[in-house]
Structure 1
Amino acid sequence: MFKKGVFDRQKRNRLEDYYKILGTTAKAGPEKIKERYFEKVRAFPPETHPEEFQQIRKAYETLKNPDERRKYDVLRKFGPKIEKEMNNAMIQVMTGDDKRAHQTLSKIIEMDPDNIQGYLIKAELYLAQGKLTDFEKYFQKAIEKLNPEDCEDFSFLKLKLLVDHGFLEVALKEMIRSKVQYPASTTQFDQIAIPIYKGLRDYENLWQVTSKLVPPIKESEPDHIYLMIDWLIAGLELEKKTEINHIISRMKKLLRLIEDQEEQAYLTSVFVDEYGAYHDAGRFEDAMAFIELALFIDKNDRDLQALKKELVPLVALDSGIRRLDRDCYLIPYVKVVALKHFYESCDVEPEEGFSEDYYQTIAEYKDCNEEIAWAIMQIKKRYPAVYKAFQSEWETLFAKHTAGLNREAKRSLR
């Protein structure tokens, strides 16, 4: 028989003493545990003692299973110490004391070889240190302790850790492997693929994945706005003009459904962040798309209105520069000159290799005075925003390259 209050005392304990509940000891074999279980059930049937019966059943379910009993025995013997050491390990991780954290986690694993959390924290520590081999080793040790049905969830966890720590190429290979291993979860893996493709600037695949994941208009919900942001970014990077207008239109429809002010404020901050990234890159036309989305949330926001006002002339210049750069009738000389003025005036970092291309092109065309003068005249006629932005520079350049031309040559430029 249980002594009075035994179950009340068990409630207050962090770890229940299952051996005591069944009236046996830790040395008891499976048959003795089974025998004691039936004795307790007869003494505390569920009809009259439902609470006591649940405790007895829980104790027996744990102790009859060899694996569960082994885990329980470890917790019973080292539980408080493991909990204390785990707290120490977390403090060491948060304070950046990786060396002591590794030592503490090793101690935890030694006490409890099935401590999955210990392996995982140790694995992530190695990942933060850039030690991929050690990360794989300890993550695999954690997986070996899992039930087979939990392995798929750990595949998602592994991908998230790799992405969070910037190992995008490794994450991409892992994602491809996981999609083959778990074909039923392709959609979930595609969702993880978004930050991978975005981080690797693989906008073609980002476009394919986001286009596939965005639901039909009738099935769209407010939360899909974040997926559409990545869809829009892919479209902007790939210059899909027609599709961009369609995406923005759909995004505005979803924004109308978001009434929570905190959510609106957060989305505004996301749009402004994207605006800043494109603005700093000198991509003012793309930056405008995000400012207009932010203003769609709050059209009376004066700060946003000021940003848009500042952007308007820059968008015209950006658009002109883009069209000019694609103009097959203009010689490369005026294109690189226009780009150089654009980068310098807007304080934009030039594209990689631009400086070399610039000086090489200038050298190649240094004696092509008539061609350069004609191209400048074309810019004045067909790209007024570009000409007006750098008018004094164009006039100086025109004067330089027409100084040696005869009257007939100058007349032909008009």
Structure 2
Amino acid sequence: MNQTDYYAVLDVSEQATADEIKRAYFRKVREHSPEEDPTGFQIVRTAYETLSDPQKRSDYDATRAFGGQIREWMDEAVEAMEDEEFDTAIDLLKRVVALNPHAYAAWDMLGSAYFAEEEYGNARRVFLKLVQEQPDVASHHLHLGACLLEEEDLAAARSALRRAHELQPYNAQPCILLSRSYRESQDWEQAIQWLERAIGADGKEDMFDFDALVELATTYVLMGDPDRVHHIGIRAEKILPADPDARRYGAHRFAAVGAMLHQARAFQAAAAFFAVASRLAPHDAQLREIAHDTDVHSRALRELDRLVHDREVVEPLKPICAYMVYGNLGLDEAKEIKPVAERAARDLSYHTPFDLQQSVRAIERKYPAVYELASDFFRETNIGRGGTAPRQQASSDVPDGCIGCGCWILIGIAVLAFLGQCNH
């Protein structure tokens, strides 16, 4: 008996009607009874179940006629997906489903290729077809929910994702996407609850738990509570395996949260997340630079709190340094303090070059992050580096001990010009 050709098993032609297939089945069952020939009976039974179902028969006919070609196209499509050549994959997969409309694996891959190309409408139509034809497959509902979420149809997305969660309660992905849907509508309580369900959903710590923890950190940042993310970051880093690809992925996720924290002015937390990202991807020069800059920003703000009380630094330099720090960080405080910094620039003329030089050296020694962010100011104005004019005889309308008119012109014009160029 030819086990692979169901038409030969039942001894019918490829054009056989449903009645002919049924009669052939009963005839073959008598020849291969379950008691005397259980193996032969099972082959006959499988052939009948396939050919008596119109959908299964169509699928079988396509595979039988074009099996080699379909397998070749599928292999090429998988390779194209791995190379992120999604247009090529889409073309190949469309050929597959045209020959075999019930090749669900090909349909699923086609939907994923459309999604990767951000063709969310086409992806949604593919996954909606799969949901209708295979309603008990959780991944179809998950992918449909992801498409609807991208299209901002939050209610429909939640419905699809809840169904995916019902079918696979141990899968963290539906929970993570449900959390994002509630985050979009700023329902923070629901967003956090779904992430808490995602963490440990399958009873073990894995990359899905890492993603859920990063999403939790992101949610706290967006809801204006960045102080809670530090311990989440520590826990997330511990989950990451030693695999290089996983660590590069982790670096990307940590850097993304770090950028959000920086934008939220949580500079200390941002520095911590960027430092982790830099550790996870030690050969990424750009990440190292960002981690350094963020660390400088974080330290500079803390240093400013001490600088304002430091008697070793002349008073006018303090608001000028604050202005430079705020400006480099893009903070609104820069606009508020700029008039104060400009007045302070004029007051610099009341201090000797020696006092200014000692103050700048104190800033460089005790407040290195502030000095780094204000370095352009010190370099271009040459304050504290011996570049000012020598002290002149004080006139009657200038307080005793201050720099005379010539030095005031050099310092005042240089400082005010520099501050005027700043568009912080």
Q: Do these two structures clear the TM 0.5 threshold for a shared fold by scoring above it?
A: yes
| Match of residue 197 from structure 2 | 213
| Match of residue 13 from structure 1 | none
Instruction: Say if 1:274 and 1:110 are closer, same or farther in 2 by CA, change over 3 A.
Output: closer
Of residues 36, 50, 57 in structure 2, which corresponds to 1:69? 57
Whole-angstrom CA distance in 2 between matches of 1:184 and 1:100: 31
Whole-angstrom CA distance in 2 between matches of 1:38 and 1:314: 78
| Match of residue 301 from structure 2 | 321
C-alpha displacement of 1:53:
2.0
Code of the residue aligned with 1:318 in structure 2: it is S
Whole-angstrom CA distance in 2 between matches of 1:133 and 1:41: 49
Task: Please state if 1:175 is matched with 2:157.
Answer: yes
Whole-angstrom CA distance in 2 between matches of 1:190 and 1:338: 41
Alignment of 1:10-409 (within 5 A): 10=3, 16-84=4-72, 86=74, 96=85, 98=87, 102=91, 107-117=95-105, 119-120=107-108, 123=111, 126-127=114-115, 129-144=117-132, 146-150=133-137, 152-159=138-145, 162=147, 168=150, 170=152, 175-179=157-161, 184=166, 188-193=173-178, 208=192, 212-213=196-197, 221=205, 224-232=209-217, 234-235=219-220, 240=225, 243-244=228-229, 246-247=231-232, 250=235, 263=242, 269=248, 272-273=251-252, 278=258, 283=267, 285-288=269-272, 291=275, 315=295, 318-321=298-301, 335-340=322-327, 343=328, 351=330, 368-369=343-344, 384=367, 387-389=370-372, 393=377, 407=399
Instruction: Say if 1:112 and 1:67 are closer, same or farther in 2 by CA, change over 3 A.
Output: same
C-alpha displacement of 1:75:
3.2
1:39-76: CA deviation from partner (whole Å, max 9, x where unpaired): 32332233442322221111122223233233333433
Identity of aligned residues (%): 18
Tell me, yes or no, if the aligned pair for 2:97 and 2:106 is still in contact at 8 Å: yes
Instruction: Say if 1:112 and 1:209 are closer, same or farther in 2 by CA, change over 3 A.
Output: same
Whole-angstrom CA distance in 2 between matches of 1:270 and 1:180: 27
Whole-angstrom CA distance in 2 between matches of 1:135 and 1:286: 36
C-alpha displacement of 1:21:
0.9
Whole-angstrom CA distance in 2 between matches of 1:311 and 1:75: 55
Gaps of 5+ in 1: 1-5, 11-15, 326-330, 344-349
Tell me, yes or no, if the aligned pair for 1:210 and 1:227 is still in contact at 8 Å: no
Code of the residue aligned with 1:35 in structure 2: it is R
| Match of residue 328 from structure 1 | none
Whole-angstrom CA distance in 2 between matches of 1:122 and 1:313: 43
Tell me, yes or no, if the aligned pair for 1:33 and 1:63 is still in contact at 8 Å: yes
1:357-387: CA deviation from partner (whole Å, max 9, x where unpaired): 95x65775576449998xx99x98xx95655
Code of the residue aligned with 1:263 in structure 2: it is A
1:121-158: CA deviation from partner (whole Å, max 9, x where unpaired): 555555555544444445444555x13333x5312123
1:323-366: CA deviation from partner (whole Å, max 9, x where unpaired): 969xxxxx9976542133xx4xxxxxx65xx6x995x6577557
1:66-114: CA deviation from partner (whole Å, max 9, x where unpaired): 3323333343344445445555666777695948963x65554444444
SS at match of 1:26: coil
1:378-397: CA deviation from partner (whole Å, max 9, x where unpaired): x98xx956555467747969
RMSD: 5.9
Whole-angstrom CA distance in 1 between matches of 2:68 and 2:245: 42
Code of the residue aligned with 1:247 in structure 2: it is I
Whole-angstrom CA distance in 1 between matches of 2:198 and 2:84: 41
Aligned length: 352
Tell me, yes or no, if the aligned pair for 1:108 and 1:115 is still in contact at 8 Å: yes
Instruction: Say if 1:50 and 1:364 are closer, same or farther in 2 by CA, change over 3 A.
Output: same
C-alpha displacement of 1:286:
3.2
Instruction: Say if 1:263 and 1:122 are closer, same or farther in 2 by CA, change over 3 A.
Output: closer
Gaps of 5+ in 2: 306-317, 349-355, 389-393, 403-424
Instruction: Say if 1:292 and 1:35 are closer, same or farther in 2 by CA, change over 3 A.
Output: closer
Whole-angstrom CA distance in 1 between matches of 2:293 and 2:80: 53
TM-score, length-scaled by structure 1: 0.57
Whole-angstrom CA distance in 2 between matches of 1:29 and 1:148: 29
Tell me, yes or no, if the aligned pair for 1:156 and 1:189 is still in contact at 8 Å: yes
TM-score, length-scaled by structure 2: 0.56
Tell me, yes or no, if the aligned pair for 1:116 and 1:142 is still in contact at 8 Å: yes
Whole-angstrom CA distance in 1 between matches of 2:62 and 2:41: 25
Code of the residue aligned with 2:64 in structure 1: it is R
Tell me, yes or no, if the aligned pair for 1:22 and 1:40 is still in contact at 8 Å: yes
C-alpha displacement of 1:34:
3.0
Tell me, yes or no, if the aligned pair for 1:172 and 1:196 is still in contact at 8 Å: yes
